[in-house]
């Protein structure tokens, strides 16, 4: 059956959906493509059995993910293929519920499909510790009017809208259903999209909270092959201190921020390099936030540490959301064999949602308490973590990361997408300090204010710093921050009710036929 499906021309239609979806994400970043990406696939499965539909959806998902996360092959090719297969299962699950929409009223079928897709994206962000990467809503990170509803619905609302539009219009675009007879199907989608854009334009007309907390974000551009080489430790510290000293002298920031694991020695040990770091911070009279690995007993933690202007530890955060198969092995007793296939660290997760505090230094800012939280690596991909931090009082989110592993792929830009949504969802500024890029500042409307770039305008594999005033003193918070994933809960209930309804109709039809 599989060969028959693939070699009868259907593959071209299915792959066109994979391609459109891939192009809507970075590195291409053609966000309008997302609004039509699923239409070829939906038309390809019309009239097919449930089994054929599931297979076609799986193939579409597999080839999309093969392009979207191809950068993982820089670390592990086999691991990338396994992950693509796993992620394609969510497409297959969507294909399993897709036929249910055929028995629904015209106005409800697109809502059902949008709800099912949104629920599956949410589950993908939870199961096996979660992988909320390349969500459908992320495609719109540069489409600022469309993403402002995230302060009510989270990123899930944008995913819902895009799928709603695809599901409503695919019969019209294929010519299966004239527009005049499809009014009940497309009108609700048009109304919802227009309402979201209107709300977005309204929010964009109100200026974001003014920034009065001056930060210096340092991008050291340390090659991955040097990161943990003992012989490179002094070079790494010298480079970060050199760039930071320039920022302190020229711009007098309230705080200097380095990327993830930027200090190349284990914390908890008083070494010569660490003593030099503390002495330099005292000379600056400026706090330093930096990433490092902490060893405590037999355990290792990926952490962020705040050195006060006096050179003393003023706070630490231990990464809560570890990277599965990167920093630990989930279900180690069952999956421990993967250590032989994928290079895996062995870290312990942190437990505390730490909010740091730093004082302002400027004339209009002296003594003012600025609260911020740190998201390490891909923790900014998890909406629930950012919500917890903002609810705990953080007015600024700092993402420390090292994306050097993945070269000049779309990984860095895809990672940036998540930070944009965390800013809008919680109406806070987000600052990103990345080892090799993209180091950026994002305001509470999701606008990327500034990026570290070289003279050619390239943000990747260049060194430099940004010195930018951002929000941080008691600012932030939204309906979404306070209430969370209400839309997702609605989606689950709608899918459950829709499944019961179609099941009831199916049983009723069979009974009548008897």
- The 10 Å Cβ neighbour count of residue 245 is 14
Residue 95 · residue 56 · CB < 8 Å: yes
Query: Residues 6 or more apart from 98 whose CB is under 8 A from it?
Result: 42, 45, 53, 57, 113, 116
CA dihedral of 64, 66, 71, 75, whole degrees rounded to 10? 150
Provide the β-strand partners of residue 244. none
Exposed / middle / buried, residue 56 (Cβ in 10 Å: 0-12, 13-18, 19+): buried
Q: Known catalytic residue: 260? A: yes
Phi and psi at residue 34, to the nearest 5° = -65, -30
Distances from the Cα of 418 to the Cαs of 31, 107, 213, 378, in angstroms?
15, 32, 23, 9
Out of 60, 84, 93, 377, pick the active-site residue.
Answer: 377
Exposed / middle / buried, residue 112 (Cβ in 10 Å: 0-12, 13-18, 19+): buried
Q: In 3D, which of 290, 280, 283 has the Cα closest to residue 314?
A: 290
Q: Known catalytic residue: 377? A: yes
Q: Is residue 10 within a helix (H) or strand (E), and if so which, with residue range?
A: helix 10-24
Out of 121, 192, 214, 260, pick the active-site residue.
Answer: 260
**Measured CA angle at 382 (ends 213, 257), to 5 deg:** 30
Out of 84, 93, 192, 319, pick the active-site residue.
Answer: 319
Q: Annotated catalytic sites, by residue? A: 260, 319, 377
């Amino acid at each position: 059956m599989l060969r028959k499906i693939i070699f009868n021309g259907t593959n071209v239609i299915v792959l066109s959906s994979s391609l459109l979806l891939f192009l809507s994400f970075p590195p291409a970043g053609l966000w309008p493509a997302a609004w039509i990406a699923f239409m070829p696939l939906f038309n390809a499965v019309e009239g097919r059995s449930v089994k054929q539909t599931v297979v076609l959806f799986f193939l579409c998902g597999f080839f999309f993910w093969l392009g979207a996360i191809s950068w993982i092959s820089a670390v592990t090719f086999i691991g990338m293929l396994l992950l693509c297969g796993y992620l394609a299962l969510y497409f297959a699950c969507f294909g399993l519920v897709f036929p249910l929409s055929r028995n629904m009223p015209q106005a409800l079928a697109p809502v059902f499909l949008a709800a099912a897709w949104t629920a599956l994206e949410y589950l993908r962000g939870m199961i096996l510790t979660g992988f909320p990467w390349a969500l459908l809503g992320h495609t719109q990170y540069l489409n600022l009017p469309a993403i402002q509803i995230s302060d009510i619905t989270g990123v899930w609302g944008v995913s819902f809208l895009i799928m709603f539009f695809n599901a409503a219009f695919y019969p019209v675009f294929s010519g299966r259903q004239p527009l005049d007879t499809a009014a009940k199907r497309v009108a609700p989608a048009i109304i919802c999209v227009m309402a979201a854009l209107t709300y977005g334009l309204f929010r964009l007309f109100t200026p974001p909270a003014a920034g009065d907390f001056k930060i210096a974000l340092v991008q050291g551009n340390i090659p991955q092959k040097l990161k943990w080489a003992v012989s490179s430790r002094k070079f790494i510290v010298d480079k970060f201190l050199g760039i930071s000293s320039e920022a302190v002298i020229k711009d007098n920031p309230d705080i200097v921020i380095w990327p993830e694991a930027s200090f190349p020695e284990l914390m908890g040990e008083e070494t010569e390099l660490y003593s030099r770091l503390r002495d330099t911070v005292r000379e600056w009279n400026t706090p330093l936030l930096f990433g490092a690995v902490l060893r405590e007993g037999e355990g290792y933690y990926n952490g962020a540490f705040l050195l006060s202007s006096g050179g003393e530890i003023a706070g630490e955060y231990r990464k809560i959301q570890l990277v599965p198969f990167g920093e630990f092995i989930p279900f180690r007793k069952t999956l421990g064999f993967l250590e032989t296939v994928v290079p895996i660290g062995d870290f312990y997760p942190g437990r505390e949602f730490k909010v740091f505090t730093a004082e302002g230094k400027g004339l209009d800012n002296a003594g003012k308490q600025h609260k911020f939280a740190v998201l390490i690596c891909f923790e900014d991909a998890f909406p629930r973590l950012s919500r917890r931090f903002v609810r705990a009082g953080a007015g600024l989110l700092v993402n420390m990361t090292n994306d050097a592993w993945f070269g000049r792929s779309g990984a860095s830009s895809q990672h940036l997408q998540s930070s944009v949504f965390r800013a809008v969802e919680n109406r806070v500024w987000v600052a990103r300090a990345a080892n090799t890029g993209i180091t950026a500042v994002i305001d509470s409307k999701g606008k990327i204010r500034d990026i570290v770039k070289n003279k050619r305008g390239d943000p990747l594999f260049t060194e430099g710093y940004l010195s930018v005033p951002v929000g941080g003193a008691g600012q932030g918070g939204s309906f979404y921050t306070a209430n969370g994933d209400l839309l997702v809960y609605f989606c689950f209930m709608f899918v459950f009710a829709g499944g019961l309804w179609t099941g009831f109709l199916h049983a009723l039809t069979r009974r009548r036929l008897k």
